[in-house]
Structure 1
Amino acid sequence: MRVLFMVFILAFVSSCGQQVAKCTDPTDNPSHHYLMGMQALEEKKVDVAQSKFERANFCDEKFSPAHDGLAIVSAYKTKQQGDAAFKKVETDMAMEHLKKAGKLAESAEDKFDHLVATMRVYTALKSKDWLKTAEDAFAEIRELKVDEKKLIYYQGKEAADYYMGLAYLKALEFRQARDKFADVLNAKREGKWHEKADKAHKRVDKIVRAMAGITVGDVGKQIAVKDSVTRADLAALLIVEMKLDKLFAGRIPVKSQIDKMKAEFTPADMLTHPFKEEVLTIMKWKVRGLEPKYDGNTKAYLFMPKEPVLRGEMALILEDVLIKLTGDEKLATAYFGQDKSPFPDVKPTSTFYNAVMNMTTRGIMEGELSGEFRVGAPVDGAEALLAMRVLKQRMNIY
């Protein structure tokens, strides 16, 4: 009996010393949860991603990619935090998870995931020396000998080039961003990152072409990356980058007349706007298409700074700028009375037709390969910058 008791005790102690598996289902494993979490991040489902990474960490506390994922989640969450204290909490968590992942990463593949996560986290946070940190991580990746088949999510080393390209784009280093996206395209004909890089490359290349031969300041660079330019953005571009106030003033010989000119009023929605002065300057010159609009809700004229500028509206605005700079009033009716339009979506009777023709015949704006002008589509930043560059060239303004 005593022997049996001792055997029981030894068996009990032995079982206590063994670590009980937490996740036993075939699909309930850290690698699977990490992959699902990364895919959720692609879809901008941050909360779903967080739960997946937490499950991966629960299954295996030493699984470094789980901490990489959680670091990215916290970094992304800082963008959603308006409160500085909460933002700091998420930032600290991102750094803590990144540090843990770095310590746990042993294989070349885990180190690859960690270094790419480092690039992504610092790009999202934009903390001190963030770009250099991203560049250093990228340089380390270049030295790794990775088995791409073992990269659970990234699947290829060109993923690092893609995220370095995004970092350069965030830093407004457009040429370097374009080069990195090109590296992705040259790495593999068909790969996980090819389509994303192709789209990004086309976008950045458009920005680079728009900026060729001209000096663009911070305002122009910030607006250049926008998918949709607002009325306030366009006002800022015209005043800051094209220096429209100075150009218009140069057409008025009497300085006393210029000194008397000013906006008739300050719209209520521009009182605290960062582009207030630029908008008031545009209003001073009464640029058609950028006038205040009557708002039925407030029963007041507002500038509506957040409203996107459509391509048809852009044509009207730039046509008015062209007329004011040249003094040629005939441009306003140059294409009246035409029976046929070269653009199926802009009829000769359209409000925008004359302006569209003035812009396209001078190469200031272009139609699409489909033949349409896309009169109702929003103007993106690169397109706005390119149109102004061509307008300046046509006017010999440098």
Structure 2
Amino acid sequence: MKEKLLSMLLAGITAGVLSACSGPQVRCTTAEDNPEHHYLRGMEALEKSDITAAREKFDRALYCNEKYSPAYAGNSIVAAEKSRTQGDDAFRTVEVGRSRDFLDRADKYADTTEEQFDYYLAVMRDNTILKEKGWLKETEGAFGDAAALKLDEQKLVYYQGKEAADYFMGLAYLQALEFRKARDKFADVLNARREGKWHDKADRGWKKTDRTVRAMSGLTIGDVGKKIAVKDSVSRGDLAALLMDEMKMDKLMAGRLSAASQGKHLKAEFTPADIADHQFKDEILTLLKWKVRGLEPRFDETTKAYLFKPAEAVTRGEMAFILEDVLIKLTGDEKLATAYFGQEQSPFPDVRSTSPFFNAVMNMTTRAIMEGELSGEFRINEPVDGAEALLAVRVLKQKINIR
């Protein structure tokens, strides 16, 4: 019996020694189950704003290699994105702390210049999202560090080219309302190489900032205009504020419409319930007073009431309709409202001549107040972005000779 127990003990010790000599257990063994693959898929999920999928992929990358720096960099961006969705300051603080902690680990484990590049890009992206004190200066510093690296671009798993730093610096300047600097950075990407990974994104960014810069050359852009300029879509509330602040609509309407149509104490017929506490309540009520078509209250089936819906995005077709009515009211030319009725052919494949927006689109495009795409489409159902809105207002002011 003793001999049997001794034999079992020796066998156990031998197995333990062999296991120790064989090194740590390999967790991820299949061809695509590796840190690089999961990191790439996580970054692609971030592009689609799917932060849940992104975190899962980064966590899997760290399961495969707990010292894989780029996955920590990716998780820092996820935490930063999550922080801005938190309404509670305490929860936001927790996510900001996680973002900084992940960044520290990304820096600690970055062994190659390519991993250092991913780390600096994460610093830039996190700062642009979080916008904490001194964020722009810190972002410029990280950009300089990234630009100074001697990279083998073939080894960049996700970013693929050094010009990615220029692109994200452009986004940072855009968020900081430094429009000319943003345009220059996007231009650097376009000049760096043809058809690189960031070429199309930079092209869209350049066009957006270029429109903004052109608009600013003819407008005295106030705080409202600057904040709207960076938006990918303009809400009904935003547009009301823009028309009031940049076009001085109330003063213009009062001066150009007849006294009979104004009334001495003209005001909005009622206050929609959904703007009672809105930041642009006064601007919206002033606009409602002048009954601008396209920005009237709408009947809401849920509440069975007429609401303004200030957060609803304005489409390009609606923008044309609204600006057409402003043009008619300020010029007194009622014929504009039917100028293109009966025209059979539309120059835009996505705008039929029977569309309720067709006349407005034609009035805006023939006067160069709004523009179509090089493809020939007008993009009638897509949201109008802030830069487009600013430029359209600038050109409209010029057409009406508003000083």
Please indicate, yes or no, whether the TM-score normalized by the shorter chain is above 0.5.
Answer: yes
User: Which of 346, 368, 383 is 1:378 aligned to?
Assistant: 383
- 1:76 corresponds to 2:84: no
Structure 1 contact 68–97 (Cα < 8 Å) conserved: yes
TM-score (norm 2): 0.86
C-alpha distance in 2 between matches for 1:150 and 1:68:
16
TM-score (norm 1): 0.87
User: Which of 38, 42, 45 is 1:40 aligned to?
Assistant: 45
C-alpha distance in 2 between matches for 1:82 and 1:365:
37
C-alpha distance in 2 between matches for 1:57 and 1:260:
67
SS at match of 1:294: strand
Structure 1 contact 22–58 (Cα < 8 Å) conserved: no
Which has the higher mean CA deviation after the structures are superposed, 17-26 or 282-291? 17-26
Residue of structure 2 in register with 1:183 after alignment: 188
- 1:153 corresponds to 2:168: no
Which has the higher mean CA deviation after the structures are superposed, 146-155 or 349-358? 349-358
- 1:323 corresponds to 2:323: no
Deviations, residues 266-292 of structure 1 (Å, cap 9, x unaligned) = 101111112111110101122222221
Deviations, residues 149-198 of structure 1 (Å, cap 9, x unaligned) = 22222222111111111211222222212211211121121322223222
SS at match of 1:301: strand
- 1:138 corresponds to 2:143: yes
Residue of structure 2 in register with 1:197 after alignment: 202
SS at match of 2:124: helix
Residue of structure 2 in register with 1:23 after alignment: 27
Structure 2 contact 236–312 (Cα < 8 Å) conserved: yes
Give the letter for the 2:282 counterpart.
Answer: E
Residue of structure 1 in register with 2:107 after alignment: 102
Which has the higher mean CA deviation after the structures are superposed, 316-325 or 268-277? 316-325
Where does 1:169-180 land on structure 2 (aligned, <5 Å)? 169-180=174-185
Structure 2 contact 237–280 (Cα < 8 Å) conserved: yes
C-alpha distance in 1 between matches for 2:268 and 2:115:
60
SS at match of 1:201: helix
Q: 1:19 to 1:45 in 2, by over 3 A?
A: farther
Taking only aligned residues, the RMSD between alpha carbons, in angstroms, comes to: 3.2
Residue of structure 1 in register with 2:317 after alignment: 312
C-alpha distance in 2 between matches for 1:57 and 1:336:
63
* 1:106 Cα deviation after fit: 3.3
Deviations, residues 104-141 of structure 1 (Å, cap 9, x unaligned) = 32332222111111111111111111111111100111
Deviations, residues 247-302 of structure 1 (Å, cap 9, x unaligned) = 22333687xx7761221211011111121111101011222222212334323221
Structure 1 contact 162–180 (Cα < 8 Å) conserved: yes
SS at match of 1:118: helix
C-alpha distance in 1 between matches for 2:342 and 2:12:
103
Number of aligned residues: 395
Which residues of structure 1 form unaligned runs of 5+?
A: none
* 1:372 Cα deviation after fit: 5.0
Structure 1 contact 249–258 (Cα < 8 Å) conserved: no
Q: 1:173 to 1:15 in 2, by over 3 A?
A: same
User: Which of 243, 251, 262 is 1:246 aligned to?
Assistant: 251
Q: 1:86 to 1:215 in 2, by over 3 A?
A: same
**In percent, how many aligned pairs have the same letter?**
63
Which residues of structure 2 form unaligned runs of 5+?
A: none
Residue of structure 1 in register with 2:293 after alignment: 288
